[in-house]
Structure 1
């Protein structure tokens, strides 16, 4: 009986070891691909090459790459998965809400408040507008300098890898007011930023804003803000459904 128990324990330890290794591998792949996408986009994708043939907001120098939420989100995802890697080696992935290392707390908070809702926002909004009229968000002329694989890393893989992280790694969501406060502040600051670009640079970052009047533009911005908040709540709901047993266990321990 004791031998069977020992064999079962060894098998569980081995299983946890393989699972931990696979998670670290996923974190590494995510970090490398997002980092390379940022490097490639920043170094080789210059819409100014198309400025004489096509009037594109991307060709305008003011704001650089950081005028696009897609690029900002790619940086955010690279930073997030770098933090995941550091946590894998020096932090903890244990199911616990107490005595967690700072890097683990930062990782959990960053996913909940920014990494998940922003990635899903960028991906869903981009592909929805592409389906309606790609000229409103990603003019066909950009295909000449923006390769298809980079497009999918920036707009598809961000959703895939952050969803994998949601389903494979436990976390306790932060206080809703705090999480939503950080997310809302981020989005409001970005909306202010694109208005600064409009005022100083004289152009809208996204072509869709050129076809909207002031009233429909305000409605569009409010919808984007509301959608982002819904994505935060959706992430919280999904997390609670996936990790129901673990969250209940922690709740009993903290009472």
Structure 2
């Protein structure tokens, strides 16, 4: 409950900062939800809110919903952290114009804190994932291309892309970028499962399924 509460406070603080951050994108079609970062943050907030409700009610069904949402939101947030900080290491202008650069604390709240909170929840306070490799690939590719279609639709309405890197690429290059990002998300899922097995033991990681393991308490 402490972890979920701390995460919710962090996510809400990021949304509060966002509400007072006036940029060109604020009044555009799709608003800040053109950014994968903000979509991921909304998923993270939803995951932890349901997690907190599960903590308070001890409802096995709510724990199952939270763990199922985390199967999407945790790898997505790990992907966002890898992409953002990796691209910033190459050139910050790939992810935002110089006039839109954020101070360190809000930047950390948007692009690092959600991944850290969700990873801790998955590794220390959740039952093991048993999602198969093929299902992981399908899920990641589906989310990746859904976001691509959303970005292109927003481009048709606004005439510009939320991330400068998208404008630097042609259609096929953007498709390749989104497919590669989906593969990175698949890798994030595999990494989290591997870390879970190391933190909790291989035997335990194979024993349960997504949700509440049979015969065990809903969460630690």
Q: Distance in 2 between matches of 1:60 and 1:204?
A: 14
Residue of structure 2 equivalent to 1:163 = 119
Find out whether 1:110 has 2:69 as its counterpart: yes
Report whether the alignment pairs 1:47 with 2:3.
no
Q: Equivalent residue for 2:36?
A: 69
- The Cα of 1:122 is off from its aligned counterpart by 0.7
User: Against the structure 1 CA distance between its residues 90 and 221, is the aligned structure 2 distance closer, same or farther, given a 3 Å change threshold?
Assistant: same
1:121·1:231 contact (CA, 8 Å) conserved in 2? Answer: yes
**Matched pairs, number:** 209
Cα displacement (A) at 1:160: 1.6
Q: Which residue of 2 aligns with 1:211?
A: 168
Picking from 33, 43, 49, the partner of 2:10 is: 33
Distance 1:89 1:120 in 2: 27
* Distance change >3 Å, CA 59–CA 132, structure 1 → 2: farther
- Gaps in structure 2 of 5+ consecutive residues: 216-220
The gaps in structure 1 that reach 5 residues or longer are 1-23, 49-57, 93-100
CA distance in 2, matches of 1:249, 1:207: 45
Q: 1:137-163 CA distances to partner (integer Å, 9 max, x unpaired)?
A: 0222113xx443211100011222122
Q: Deviation string for 1:31-58 (max 9, x for gaps)?
A: 11101211320x201113xxxxxxxxx3
Compare CA radii of gyration and give the structure with the larger one. 1
- 1:139 & 1:60 partners in 2: Cα distance? 17
The answer to which structure, 1 or 2, has the higher relative contact order (CA under 8 A, 6+ apart) is 2
TM-score, normalization: structure 1?
0.74
The answer to whether the Cα contact below 8 Å between 2:43 and 2:73 also exists between their aligned partners in 1 is yes
For residue 192 of structure 1, the aligned residue among 149, 155, 158 is 149
**Alpha-carbon offset, residue 174 of structure 1:** 4.3
Q: CA deviation at 1:171?
A: 1.1
- Whether the 8 Å CA contact 1:63–1:197 is kept in 2: the answer is yes
Aligned to 1:124: 82
Q: Does 1:135 align with 2:93?
A: yes
Over residues 85-126 of structure 1, what are the superposed CA-to-partner deviations in whole Å (9 max), with x where a residue is unaligned? 11112126xxxxxxxx211111111112x1111101111100
Greater fraction of residues in helix: 1
Q: Supply the distance in 1 between the matched residues of 2:65 and 2:152 (Cα, whole angstroms).
A: 30
Change (3 A) 1:188 1:214: closer
Distance of 1:151 and 1:75 partners within structure 2: 16
